[in-house]
Amino acid sequence: MTEDELEQAFYRRIENEEKIEPKDWMPEGYRQNLIRQISQHAHSEVIGMQPEGNWITRAPSLRRKAILLAKVQDEGGHGLYLYSTAETLGISRAEMIEALQSCKAKYASIFNYPAQTWADVGAIGWLVDGAAIVNQVSLQRTSYGPYSRSMIRICKEESFHQRQGYELMLTLCRGTEEQKAMAQDALNRFYWPALMMFGPHDSESAHSAKSMQWKIKRESNDDLRQKFIDQTVPQIEFLGLEHPDKDIRWNEERGHYDHGEIDWDEFYRVISGNGPCNRQRIQHHIRVHEEGAWVRDAMSAYQQKKRQRAQAA
């Protein structure tokens, strides 16, 4: 088949909702865009372990500690599925890690905010995992087969994360005045950065047009953000907390909540490396990666020994 015929066949498959698999022909731009998005998604999961990981030794009970340990470990696992998914497109894990550590690749802006109190652990589960699920449910229908399948598995685990976060918030809101105030403060600090997780407005989104055409993305940044805004209003009411957005109003005609404007200067500051914890997050990743070098060396020495034994036999 000629290049033109291969391209036409690719678009027919996209049109027919068929999944594209690793060995199938695909346009180079499609491959590169997937590598960009999936590797950044993987980095987000791994860097996302840091804010909550900070609370494992300070969880207030054995039950809460066990839940938090399991959750943080799940996020590491999600990172590993996603790195493997990106590797099917012809990039190595080492190249992706290098791009992260040299700040060429991004990760979700939200993880550059600190988890300052125990209530932040609840707000992260409820709002950050909640926003991640809204996005990832949509990505279950993405056109690249391995990415779509990893999203199905990840969403199942994320919904447990979201529920444990909301349950933690509910416990605080039904506790003492101080505990409820701590929950309100965590909501106030995490609400706006959670909305930023969906990316810039559609009109400002560099990759959306191509990603929608290729069905890598199935819903736009603003549509997904609106879904999250709508679902969060009754959850805030049920907790008995005040909504951080003073402009939030139900719009009967649109069938959605109208809302206040996000501070986009803050968003661009954070994604360009100048958020509250950007340097700390990357430095921590580099340090731990270097400390783990002996594990990688031991694994490759073991593989080599196995290969040599197999050859000798």
* 256, β-bridge pairs: 251
CB 191 within 8 A of CB 241: no
Q: Which residue is nearest to ligand FAQ (CB)?
A: 48
Complex with ligand FAQ: residue 188 or 205, whichever CB lies closer = 205
The tokens 């106030």 sit on which residue? 188
Complex with ligand FAQ: residue 71 or 259, whichever CB lies closer = 71
What are the Cα distances from residue 280, in Å, to 55, 110, 156? 16, 14, 30
Helix, coil or strand: residue 250: strand
Q: Which of 55, 75, 150, 168 binds ligand FAQ (CB under 6 A)?
A: 75
Helix, coil or strand: residue 24: coil
245 near ligand FAQ, judged by CB under 6 A: no
Query: Residue 208 corresponds to which amino acid?
Result: S
Minimum gap (Å) between residue 260 Cβ and ligand FAQ:
18
What's the rounded Cα separation, in Å, for the pair 83 and 101?
Answer: 15
Return the CA Rg of the chain: 21
142 near ligand FAQ, judged by CB under 6 A: no
HSE-CB at 88 with a 13 A cutoff on CA atoms is 19
Q: Which of 13, 19, 93, 106 binds ligand FAQ (CB under 6 A)?
A: 106
Minimum gap (Å) between residue 298 Cβ and ligand FAQ:
28
Minimum gap (Å) between residue 79 Cβ and ligand FAQ:
8
109 near ligand FAQ, judged by CB under 6 A: yes
CB 136 within 8 A of CB 173: no
Site map (CB under 6 A) of ligand FAQ, residues 173-202, x = contact: -----------------------xxxxx--
- For the chain, strand residue ranges (E) read 249-251, 256-258
164 near ligand FAQ, judged by CB under 6 A: no
40 near ligand FAQ, judged by CB under 6 A: yes
Centre a 10 Å sphere on the Cβ of residue 298 and count the other Cβ atoms it contains.
Answer: 10
- Span near ligand FAQ by CB under 6 A; candidates 54-62, 205-213, 226-234, 274-282: 205-213
Interacting residue ranges for ligand FAQ, rule: CB under 6 A: 36-37, 40-41, 44-45, 48, 75, 106, 108-109, 124, 128-129, 132, 135, 196-200, 205-208, 211, 221, 271
